[in-house]
Chain A
Amino acid sequence: MTGPPEVLDCRGQRCPLPVIALARRLPQLPVGSVLRVLADDPAAANDIPAWCRMRGQEYAGSPAEHAYDVRRVA
C-alpha cells in the first residue's frame, strides 16, 4: 500500500476510548490499509498492540510519539 495512512485522532481521550475508536474504524477500511491512531493516553502504547493481537490485526509500529499504526489484515 502507498499513500499516507488514514488518521484517527484520539488525543485527549482516556483508555479504553482510543481502542474502541480503533475497533470501530478499522473494519470500515479495505484489507491491507493502515490506520494511524493518535493517542496520548499512556495506556494506548500497550493496549493498541494488545488489541491487534487479540483481534488478529497487524500492529505496524509507532512512527512517532503518541502515534500507532495498525494494518487491517483480517
Chain B
Amino acid sequence: MAEAYFDAAAAAPLHPVARQALLAALEDGWADPGKLYAQARRARQLLEAAQAAVAQVLGVRPEEVTFTASGTAAAQAAVLGGLAGRQRAGRVLVHSAIEHSAVLHVAERQEAVAVPVDRLGRLDLQAWGAAVRRPGVALAALISASHEVGTVQPVAAAADLCDAAGVPLYVDAAQSVGRVPVPGGWSILSASAHKWGGPPGVGVLVVRKGVRWEPPARSGPPDLPAIVAAAAALRAVAADAEAEAARLSALVDRIRATVAATVPDVEVVGDPVDRLPHLVTFSVLYVDGEALLHALDRRGFAVSSGSSCTSDTLRPSHVLEAMGVLSHGNVRVSLHRETTPEQVDEFLAVLPDVVASLRAEAGVLDL
C-alpha cells in the first residue's frame, strides 16, 4: 500500500537537520538561559544563535525575535500584545475573515471588524482600507496566505493602507515562512516551526523595533533544544526554498488540473496562480468529507479537510464559508520536502475510484 503524508500545512515531518541539532542541543542546551553560571551561559549562546539565524532568514534584527511555546501561542501573543500596546489609540481589531482560529478567538472576545474575501479567498482591499481608517482601530491582522486554501494575501498593499491610517499590522506568516518570501511593512509577525520541518512546540514572534507591544503573559524558560532545532531547520529550508517551491508548485498544478479533469463535479478552490507552492484544496459534490478522509487513509493517504463533519464543532471551515465555496466533501492536500511525484501520481490514480465508490454507496451517481 502507498504511504503518503499530505498534511504538511498541519505539521511537516521533522527535517533531518532539525533532528541532528535537537540531539546536539539536548547535550548543551538544557540549562535555563536566564541564569548566571557557565551552563546557563552556554544555553544563552545557543538561544542567541537561534535568534540570529531566524532573524537573518526573516530579514529582521535578532533582538526583535522571541520564541513561544507554539505557533498558536505566538499568534495569540501577537494580537493580545499588539492590542494592549495600543490601548490609548483604540480598541478595535481589524482582521480578515480567513484568519487562523487563534486570531478569531481573540476577535470574538472584543470589538472587532472582519474584512471579507472574494470567491478565490483574497482579501477585499477596499473594505480593508475602509476598516483600518475607522477611528479607534488598535491593530490589524492579516494572514500571509490562507492555511486552508493557499491563496496568497496582498500583504504589501494591506500594509500600505495600514501605514496610511497609522495602524500597526500583524501578519500571521505560519504557512509562508521557510517557503516563500513575506513582504515587509508589518509591525508584528508570527510563525510556527513545525510548518517548516522544525519540531512541534516552537512558535516565533517578531516585534519590530519601536512598535508598541506589551507582553500579554509571562512565559517560562523556553524549550531551548527544540528552538535550536527549529532555527537549524529554518536555515536549511530557506537555503533551497526557491527550488523546493518550484518543485512542489508543479506538483500542485498537476493535482489541480488532474482532479478537475478526472473527478466529476469537483470544485478546486483558491487562487490557481497567486497561491502557496505546496497546498491545494478541493470540494467533492455529494460526498461526506469524513468518509472521504477515511477512505483515503485506508489507501495510505493522509490529508486534511475543512468539512463540518471533520471538525469538533460540526461547523464548516470559516475560510470556505467566507469564500462561499462548497464546504462538504472537502480535501486539503499539502506537500513537503519528502513528497515525491510518484506519491502524487498514486493519489491522483486512486482518487476518482475512491470518489466514485463513495458516491455509489450514497446512491448519488445519477445526480
Assembled-state Cα–Cα distance A51/B267 (Å): 10
Known: A15-B327, A19-B328, A24-B367. Contact between A54 and B285, CB under 8 A? yes
Q: Judging by beta carbons under 8 Å apart, are B308 and A50 in contact?
A: no
Interface presence of A46 (CB below 8 A): yes
Assembled-state Cα–Cα distance A50/B330 (Å): 13
Mask, A1-32, CB within 8 Å of B = 1, is 00000000000001110011001100000000
Which of B40-48, B131-139, B142-150, B309-317 is the interface stretch?
Answer: B309-317
Assembled-state Cα–Cα distance A45/B327 (Å): 10
Question: In residues 290-341 of chain B, which contact A (Cβ within 8 Å)?
Answer: 307-309, 314-316, 320-321, 324-329
Q: Judging by beta carbons under 8 Å apart, are A51 and B285 in contact?
A: yes
Q: Judging by beta carbons under 8 Å apart, are B325 and A41 in contact?
A: no
Which of A19, A20, A43, A49 sits near B324, CB closer than 8 Å?
A49
Interface presence of B362 (CB below 8 A): yes
Mask, B122-142, CB within 8 Å of A = 1, is 000000000000000000000
Q: What secondary structure prevails in chain A residues at the interface with B?
A: helix
Interface presence of A63 (CB below 8 A): no
- Chain A's closest residue to B362 (CB) is A20
Q: Judging by beta carbons under 8 Å apart, are B286 and A43 in contact?
A: no
Most chain B Cβ neighbours within 10 Å, of A15, A23, A43, A54: A43
Which of B287, B307, B324 sits near A50, CB closer than 8 Å?
B324
**Closest chain A CB from B191 CB (angstroms):** 30
- Chain B's closest residue to A23 (CB) is B367
Interface presence of B288 (CB below 8 A): yes
Provide the residues of chain B in CB contact with A24, threshold 8 Å. Answer: 367
Q: Judging by beta carbons under 8 Å apart, are A20 and B286 in contact?
A: yes
**Closest chain B CB from A49 CB (angstroms):** 7
Assembled-state Cα–Cα distance A24/B366 (Å): 9
Known: A16-B288, A43-B308. Contact between A54 and B326, CB under 8 A? yes
Classify chain B: how many residues form its interface, as a range: 20 to 34
Question: In residues 31-64 of chain A, which contact B (Cβ within 8 Å)?
Answer: 41-43, 45-47, 49-51, 54
Q: Judging by beta carbons under 8 Å apart, are B328 and A15 in contact?
A: yes
Interface presence of B364 (CB below 8 A): yes
Which of B315, B327, B362, B364 sits near A47, CB closer than 8 Å?
B327
**Closest chain B CB from A8 CB (angstroms):** 15
Assembled-state Cα–Cα distance A45/B316 (Å): 10
Provide the residues of chain B in CB contact with A19, threshold 8 Å. Answer: 285-286, 328
Assembled-state Cα–Cα distance A42/B314 (Å): 8
Assembled-state Cα–Cα distance A54/B324 (Å): 12
Q: Judging by beta carbons under 8 Å apart, are A43 and B307 in contact?
A: yes
Q: Judging by beta carbons under 8 Å apart, are A43 and B327 in contact?
A: yes
Assembled-state Cα–Cα distance A42/B348 (Å): 30
Q: Judging by beta carbons under 8 Å apart, are A16 and B286 in contact?
A: yes
- Chain A's closest residue to B119 (CB) is A53
Which of A16, A23, A41, A49 sits near B329, CB closer than 8 Å?
A16
Assembled-state Cα–Cα distance A16/B309 (Å): 10
Interface presence of B265 (CB below 8 A): yes
Provide the residues of chain A in CB contact with B315, threshold 8 Å. Answer: 42-43
- Chain A's closest residue to B284 (CB) is A16
Which of B286, B316, B364 sits near A46, CB closer than 8 Å?
B316
Which of B307, B308, B367 sits near A20, CB closer than 8 Å?
B367
For this complex, 7 residue pairs linking A to B, each with C-beta atoms less than 8 Å apart, are A15-B316, A16-B328, A16-B329, A19-B328, A46-B321, A46-B324, A46-B327
| Interface of A toward B, CB cutoff 8 Å | 14-16, 19-20, 23-24, 41-43, 45-47, 49-51, 54
Having A19-B285, A47-B316, A51-B326, one finds 4 other A-B pairs with CB under 8 Å, namely A16-B286, A20-B367, A50-B267, A54-B267
| Interface of B toward A, CB cutoff 8 Å | 265, 267, 285-288, 307-309, 314-316, 320-321, 324-329, 362, 364, 367
The 8 closest A-B pairs by CB, nearest first: A16-B328, A50-B326, A43-B316, A43-B308, A15-B328, A23-B367, A42-B315, A46-B321
